[in-house]
Amino acid sequence: MDLGSGGSGGGTLARALSGIGLPERLALASRSIAGRLVFTTSFGIEDQAITHAIFSAGLDVHIEIVTLDTGRLFPETYDLWEQTEERYQRRINAVSPDRGAVEALVNRQGINGFRHSVEARKACCDIRKVEPLGRALAGAAGWITGLRAEQSAFRAAVPLAIHDEGYGLIKINPLADWSRQDLARYVIDNAVPYNPLHDRGYPSIGCAPCTRAVRLGEPERAGRWWWEQEAKKECGLHLVPTQKNLEHSHDRL
């Protein structure tokens, strides 16, 4: 089942991924996708579960683990990064923003200028996240993420596998159908290290100045860019799977 170059599986991979466990999903993805396979972690609890599964099964031989170091992460996130490397005795490669672009951005809009408008915020996310992601995925045939459908209405249609038109690769979301409870159980059962901010009301953790704790009953991503409207709360890394591109993708997967 080689789907790495756009393939002709006719729904094979997406169907094969359902009904099996996380390590099996990752192993199947690594066998099925010919070419470079990249997992991007931001050290959230979803990503920590995937990191554990990859390292514990020795799948890092096939799957590169990288993180986008925006330079604005919480101290707790940097501590977790170090703790994770120590636990698994592996390095997690950093991709940093272009220094000149960050300097120009900060000189133009100020150190926290992303709070001034949606456009200013997107400009910051573009420089600190989207452009580095493009470099991280350059030449890759597959991209593994920790997206879950339950995280927000925006992500409700996230599939287990989809052909990502934007990056021209197969995007695997091995936790797409997991609930928060499924995730918590996996993390506890496997003693996976996780960010202590999760226990302090932060279900979703991004850059420090753009993330706050959520209140009881709020959606998981309500604490991200809380000053913006719900529909806009994405940093531009993930395209929304519309019905149209889902149908198109199902033809290819």
Site for ligand SF4 (CB under 6 A): which residue of 17, 38, 65, 125?
125
Q: Which is nearer to ligand SF4, 10 or 236 (CB)?
A: 236
Query: Which amino acid, 238?
Result: H
Instruction: Give me 62's structure tokens.
Output: 């096939």
Q: Tell the smallest beta-carbon distance from residue 239 to ligand SF4 (Å).
A: 17
In the set 39, 81, 114, 178, which binds ligand SF4 (CB under 6 A)? 114
- 42/48 with CB nearer ligand SF4: 42
Question: Does 124 belong to an annotated binding site?
Answer: yes
Q: Is 207 annotated as a binding residue?
A: yes
Structure tokens at 102: 């960050």
**Candidates 79-87, 155-163, 206-214, 215-223; binding stretch for ligand SF4 (CB under 6 A):** 206-214
Binding mask 227-246 for ligand SF4 (x = CB under 6 A): --------x-----------
Size of the site for ligand SF4 (CB under 6 A): 13
| Closer residue to ligand SF4 in complex, CB, 157/208 | 208
210 is in an annotated binding site: yes
- The Cα-based distances of 62 to 26, 34, 199, 205 in angstroms read 10, 10, 33, 27
Q: How many CA atoms lie within 13 A of 108 on its CB side?
A: 11
Annotated catalytic residue 235? yes
Task: Tell whether 133 is in a known binding site.
Answer: no
* Of 129 and 148, CB closest to ligand SF4: 129
Q: In sequence order, what are the beta bridge partners of 170?
A: 142, 163
Q: Which of 115, 43, 29 is nearest to 79 (CA)?
A: 43
Q: Which residue in the shown chain puts its C-beta closest to ligand SF4? A: 207
Which DSSP string corresponds to 181-240? HHHHHHHHHTT----GGGGGT-SS--BGGGB-PPPTT--TTTTBSTTS-GGG---SSS--
Catalytic residues: 235
Contact residues for ligand SF4, defined by CB under 6 A: 70, 72, 114, 121, 124-125, 128-129, 206-207, 209-210, 235
